[in-house]
Chains A and B, each alone.
Chain A
């Protein structure tokens, strides 16, 4: 009898356990909307989307890394470097203080490829060291974070720029970051971010490479015995992550219409937070892109919403911190129960 009553309850409990973060997101939206009903508007939605699209792309890269049971502390600084590279190569001819005063007009593809390939190269460096020298990702990416910042500072300081903020970005670039799709009113940048999410989802769930990432992160010894080239897989993971940071950096520049060497500071922690809250395991092997989208949204709406209803911004950090710990705590409890 007991069993009959308890079984459905347990089922509901398990469902809620899996979906708890979505429920939390709805509760959050409802509470903010009750305090200030104007929160439920298209303008707010657009603002949240604009603010968080680059974060989403960085979080996608971090998802690969976390599922492979690694971590990437260099993400933010690579984004910053990519933004500065984009800005330096993407200025209009008419702008007064140009990074390369003697350079002719270049098509938009040049700054894009430069940013993405430098970022991808740094990612490949991470992967190479982690896979071949078996140094833990935490240390390798801590080192490359500092190095990426150093490279950025050096580049940013090249005369005549001499560490001045870079502005005067071409409209063909800024349009990607702040423009809307004509007729639909949807920001272009969020469409780009969602397409990237779709590609990442496809790679992770449908391609051999992606499935192998789960295997490597779940149990690298078993993966090796199963004939998976663990080293190649890890190099692929970090390189892909680097490329995604490069795209995010490019879009950061186009969204804000400029760049400084301070760009990207601590973005990796935003990405890790969003992933973890979105159900990516920090010990590897578990995580999905849809979950990460929810994770990014939670923090995006929290940031925007708390300001919207006039909560002291200093409180926001305390709330965010608690949410991260609670989400992981809940996740661990769920797994303990399954055992």
Chain B
């Protein structure tokens, strides 16, 4: 084996990974120096999390090599990696809520004396560990009562207890307050001083400017480049993250927006940390994009328009009439349809057939005396939608879970259309589906607009938002931060508005 470069504690070399229909990673190389904070930036879908999953062996990489301390490694999971001093702090933390701080740290390797758990030793060790990290926590506290930032500190303490040399943090500040972010950064600096490296995944540019030593930018599964943090400006980071050719990825725009059909005025969630005071208008035959980062409360907003979430204030006007929507039945009666973001959890009935998944929301229309459902009529309806939307399925009776993500999504669009809506709320309609199917979904959306339907289109992928929408409103932390039309629309502007309130 060739001599390895000791300048790096962790190297990922030429990592490639393909999924059916999409090249998720292509020759990605990433080198982490000891005692440094290395940021990875990129849009949603750029391949950051796929890369991490390849590192930890959650996905098997197609090619490439991972070198840790000069040795080629192949981990079979996060536990395997943490024993080899590589730890991950996830964006969503899942501690054991009913156990104490110390048990959470030492779980799986509790100190044993005479066959009994040695709580005294555990407490002493935990105290030592926490004081070293300057974390002010009682080892005996029950985790359930602690804040997210404290739980995060416990995770970091756990990583340190394994003598972690590299700690990967995935969007660590996404649910922290400004003060907690400062504390986290202090902790990161302390760790750096003890030669621990941090691989910091984020799309918050200001944060990265503050804490990172160098930055690697990814886009479309490839590394765009690697820069020392002082050699790259914020604007340059944005343009490297988003810059790409937009021609022909979208169907030609032939629809023409008409008169105003829907008005949303001062919509405010009953939860103070969700959307507040959001207003906008929507025309017939218009595609209105809603941009923003994860956590911008866009899903919550459209779900409240569909009656799935309660509001404390706000008015909805449809076609000049004020309407009240308390539940999905109200929404459907007012010709609103929702395509949910969570296809598996809130969309498909995985064990039911493709046909039933199409007509299941239309029983109100289909039911006869006593609620009798004529199977023949249903099958005809489903067959028509399958043809119209080009849903590729072996038969109408095939269970929907044996279809590809794109075809499942088209089936769900069919379900929505079967309720004969005027307003369609599409929440991340192309998430997790391959490129070819995406284009078909775009075509369906364009067709809907041409048929004078009103479309609200939420997407975290800015190119498709720009490629499809006539107008874009941007949200940040539950508030509408701007509205862009025509030549005002650009990825830079959207990203600036989407991060307006962020530190």
Most buried by B among A212, A225, A226: A225
Q: Which of A26-34, A175-183, A213-221 lies at the binding interface? A: A213-221
Q: Which of B136-144, B279-287, B342-350 lies at the binding interface? A: B342-350
Given the contacts A215-B352, A225-B328, A338-B402, A207 and B370 also touching, CB distance less than 8 Å: yes
Contact B328 A227 (CB under 8 A): yes
Query: Which of B292-306 touch A at CB < 8 Å?
Result: 306
Contact of A225 among B347, B363, B366 (CB under 8 A): B347
Distance in Å from the Cβ of B418 to the closest Cβ of chain A?
A: 10
- A337 at the B interface (CB under 8 A): no
Contact of B348 among A206, A219, A229, A338 (CB under 8 A): A219
Given the contacts A225-B308, A227-B419, A208 and B371 also touching, CB distance less than 8 Å: yes
- B364 at the A interface (CB under 8 A): yes
Contact A226 B350 (CB under 8 A): no
Given the contacts A207-B370, A208-B373, A227 and B350 also touching, CB distance less than 8 Å: no
Given the contacts A225-B308, A225-B328, A227-B328, A218 and B346 also touching, CB distance less than 8 Å: no
Contact of A222 among B349, B367, B399 (CB under 8 A): B349
Q: In the complex, what distance in Å separates the CA atom of A223 from the CA atom of B328?
A: 10
Contact A224 B402 (CB under 8 A): no
Most buried by B among A214, A215, A222, A338: A222
Q: Mark A190-224, 1 if CB is under 8 A from B, else 0.
A: 00000000000000001111011011001101111
Report B-chain residues with C-beta under 8 Å of the C-beta of A226: 328, 360-361, 415
Interface of A is mostly: helix
Given the contacts A226-B328, A338-B402, A207 and B372 also touching, CB distance less than 8 Å: yes
Report B-chain residues with C-beta under 8 Å of the C-beta of A137: none
Contact B352 A212 (CB under 8 A): no
Q: In the complex, what distance in Å separates the CA atom of A208 from the CA atom of B348?
A: 18
Chain A interface residue count, CB cutoff 8 Å, equals: 23
Q: In the complex, what distance in Å separates the CA atom of A218 from the CA atom of B399?
A: 12
Contact B329 A229 (CB under 8 A): yes
Distance in Å from the Cβ of A325 to the closest Cβ of chain B?
A: 22
Contact B328 A219 (CB under 8 A): no
Contact B332 A209 (CB under 8 A): no
- B112 at the A interface (CB under 8 A): no
Query: Which of B323-378 touch A at CB < 8 Å?
Result: 328-329, 331-332, 338, 340, 342, 345-352, 356, 360-361, 363-364, 366-367, 370-373, 375
Contact A219 B363 (CB under 8 A): no
Q: In the complex, what distance in Å separates the CA atom of A208 from the CA atom of B365?
A: 11
Given the contacts A208-B371, A209-B371, A224-B308, A218 and B352 also touching, CB distance less than 8 Å: yes
Given the contacts A226-B360, A227-B364, A207 and B371 also touching, CB distance less than 8 Å: yes
Known: A211-B363, A338-B402. 7 other contacts (CB 8 A): A206-B373, A208-B366, A212-B363, A215-B352, A218-B351, A221-B346, A285-B349
Interface residues, chain B, with chain A CB atoms under 8 Å away:
306, 308, 328-329, 331-332, 338, 340, 342, 345-352, 356, 360-361, 363-364, 366-367, 370-373, 375, 399, 401-402, 415, 419
A-B contact list, 19 entries, CB within 8 Å? A208-B367, A214-B349, A215-B360, A218-B350, A219-B349, A222-B346, A222-B349, A225-B308, A225-B328, A225-B340, A226-B328, A226-B361, A227-B419, A228-B363, A285-B349, A285-B351, A285-B352, A338-B399, A339-B401
